Structure formats: C-alpha cells, structure tokens
Amino acid sequence: MTAIHFSVKDFDEKVIKAKGLVLVDFYADWCGPCKMAGPVIDELAGEYKGKAVVGKVNVDENQELSSKYGVMSIPTVVLFKDGKEVDRMMGFKGKEGYEDLIKKAL
C-alpha cells in the first residue's frame, strides 16, 4: 500500500480535521534520506491501516505547509492526533523510529 499524498488543498480536510492519528512525512524527490524513508512510509501505510493514516507532503510543491509547520530539514515526520501535533522526528531513523512514534501515540 502506498501512502496518501497531501497538498495545500486537502491538508486541513485530511489531516487537521481527521479523527485519530495521521503521520505526515515531509519530503522532497531530490533528498537522499527521503528516498530511503519513502518505501518505509509506504510500508507503514499498509501496516497501520485502520489505526493511523500515513501520508506524505512534497515540500517543493507545498512550501506553505512546510513553512506553517516549521519543517526546516527533511525528511521530517510530524504526527498529528485529532488534528493537533503530538510528536515529530527529523531525519531518517529507520522503520523502528517511525513505529516507536506511532506506538507512543496509539
């Protein structure tokens, strides 16, 4: 399963107004660590289906969102619960790092 792609147009509807957990990966196509994180994010989307929504935001195409959420380096993963940021992780810490983030909030 692949992660959902969020944009400026649907971010509020799909992330901020969502009930439950939403993990958002802020990335860019040219970013090496983001390329390593991408398949892991897609894997998590399948594994946590029904427990958390897992998606991505391309920072080059959605600069307003990366600015609004203070994303200064990529990859940065921000975890929202009921529309509010509850945690974040900068850099790629492997699948375990992302899973720990989700499990703490479940």
51: domain CATH number is: 3.40.30.10
Largest CA distance in the chain: 32
CA distance 52 to 64: 24
Number of domains in the chain: 1
Q: Is residue 19 helix, strand or coil?
A: coil
Per-residue pLDDT 10s for the chain (106 aa) are 889 999 999 999 999 999 999 999 999 999 999 999 999 999 999 999 999 999 999 999 999 999 999 999 999 999 999 999 999 999 999 999 999 999 999 8
The catalytic residue among 34, 37, 57, 74 is 34
Active site residue 7: no
Structural domain boundaries, residue 13? 4-105
Q: Which of 15, 21, 23, 31 is catalytic?
A: 31
Q: What would the DSSP string read from start to end of 46-80?
A: HHTTTTEEEEEEETTT-HHHHHHTT--SSSEEEEE
Cα–Cα distance, 55 to 44 (Å, whole number): 10
Q: Is 86 a catalytic residue?
A: no
